[in-house]
């Protein structure tokens, strides 16, 4: 008696390949645009590629670039902050990643499908 038949091994390999493809994708197909938060509140939402100027009360904060290559990516091109750490961060492509500019109080992240759990919703350790 054999442990695996020829077709059993084929099915196992196919299932492994499919499962790894979902893991490696990382939810890139869920991205629906870019959200820019200023002072903790969503100020801009961009769904089309381009270079956008970010302002707060008429004061220029930064320029960001949103591109749809590689399933969607975003970066800060120029910034008014002193250290420019947000510019050096470069492109982000992972929907779980973000760009933060502390001096300007700006957070840039991907807007994903409607099933995204927000940080202030759901069960945490204190309500569990």
pLDDT digits (tens, 9 = 90+) for 3-29: 667 778 888 888 888 877 666 655 555
Residue 84 has pLDDT above 90, yes or no: yes
The verdict on residue 69 lying in a domain is yes
Count of structural domains, the chain? 1
Using CA atoms, how far apart are residues 20 and 120, in angstroms rounded to an integer? Answer: 31
The verdict on residue 9 lying in a domain is no
Using CA atoms, how far apart are residues 92 and 86, in angstroms rounded to an integer? Answer: 11
Tell me the CATH number at 67.
2.60.320.10
- Return mean pLDDT, the chain: 82
Tokens of 73: 């990516």
Using CA atoms, how far apart are residues 6 and 31, in angstroms rounded to an integer? Answer: 40
Tokens of 53: 């100027």
Residue 106 has pLDDT above 90, yes or no: yes
Instruction: Name the one residue in this structure whose structure tokens are 């949103």.
Output: 66
The verdict on residue 95 lying in a domain is yes
79-82 CB contacts, 8 Å cutoff, 24+ apart? 79/104, 80/104
- What pLDDT sits at residue 9? 81
Range of the domain at 72: 29-111
The verdict on residue 99 lying in a domain is yes
The verdict on residue 36 lying in a domain is yes
The DSSP call for residue 118 is: P
- What pLDDT sits at residue 10? 84
| Mean pLDDT confidence for 67-88 | 91
What's the whole-model pTM score? 0.67
The stretches of 26-89 forming alpha helices (DSSP H) are 85-88
**Any idea which of 18-32, 91-105, 114-128 has the lowest mean pLDDT?**
114-128
pLDDT band of residue 117 (cuts 50, 70, 90) is very low
**Any idea which of 30-39, 47-56, 76-85 has the lowest mean pLDDT?**
30-39
Using CA atoms, how far apart are residues 3 and 15, in angstroms rounded to an integer? Answer: 18
Residue 44 has pLDDT above 50, yes or no: yes
The verdict on residue 128 lying in a domain is no
The verdict on residue 22 lying in a domain is no
The verdict on residue 16 lying in a domain is no
């Amino acid at each position: 008696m054999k442990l695996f038949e020829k077709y059993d091994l084929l099915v196992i390999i196919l299932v492994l390949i499919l499962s790894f493809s979902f893991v490696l994708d990382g939810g890139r197909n869920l991205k629906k645009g870019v959200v820019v938060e200023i002072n903790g509140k969503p100020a801009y939402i961009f769904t089309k590629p381009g270079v956008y100027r970010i302002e707060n009360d008429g004061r220029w904060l930064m320029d960001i670039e949103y591109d749809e290559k590689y399933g969607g990516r975003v970066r800060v091109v120029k910034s008014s902050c002193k250290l420019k750490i947000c510019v050096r961060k470069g492109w982000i492509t992972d929907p779980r990643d973000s760009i933060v500019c502390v001096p300007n109080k700006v957070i840039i992240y991907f807007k994903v499908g409607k099933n995204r759990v927000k940080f202030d919703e759901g069960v945490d350790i204190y309500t569990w």
